[in-house]
Amino acid sequence: MENVFLIVGLGNLGAEYAKTRHNAGFLLVERLAAKWKTDWANERKFEARLARADRSGKRVLLCQPQTFMNLSGETVGALKNFYQLPLKQVLVAVDDADLPFGEIRLRASGSSGGHHGLESIEQHLNTREFARLRIGIGRKDGAREITDYVLGKFSAGETALAEKVLTAAADQTEVWLKAGIQKAMSQFNGLVEAAK
């Protein structure tokens, strides 16, 4: 459908993951849904929570896949096919341990960077040519083994910056919708103000 845009936030299901670093994508789409005053509905046929809104003359679907993170592509592929979405109307928001905490980076395409959620989406869409908004969560002391850190909640000292980062990422997403990816990248990519 010509005027439908899909914004997918990646995350894990369950209360224990609710405010963790790995759920930055979920947190972003929840922030947009609250800002746009739209409600979530479970849509079993897509294995997704969806919130619908009209923004900048476009129909927008906010999506939280209800599969495991590593199977996110099943949901994204099903929605893309059902709504016959051009790839340029799909945006995936995801946490990124290789970006410093406090940095956001939107790209028109790219590699998964080892992120299993992105790998699954690339596999189901059969391409890497879709926009991804990476939300930097950094690494603890540069460690390679980061499972506990990624699945941990933002510390008390990180919460204020995490809020600013999510606000900037939400603003960037709105510019992507309204003015396109180039404008959104040039205006927001990099360290969020408080992190500089």
Q: Exposed/middle/buried for 58, CB within 10 Å: 0-12, 13-18, 19+?
A: middle
For residue 184, give the nearest of 127, 83, 107, 88 by alpha carbon. 107
The runs of H, that is alpha helices, within the chain are 24-35, 72-83, 116-125, 147-150, 156-179, 181-188
Q: At what angle do helices 156-179 and 181-188 cross, to 10 degrees?
A: 150
For residue 138, give the nearest of 70, 195, 176 by alpha carbon. 195
**How far is residue 138's CA from residue 135's CA, in Å, rounded to a whole number?**
9
Among candidate residues 22, 115, 116, 124, the one labeled active-site is: 22
Q: Please say if 22 is a catalytic residue.
A: yes
Strand pairing report for 131-136 and 90-96: parallel
Residues carrying an active site annotation: 22
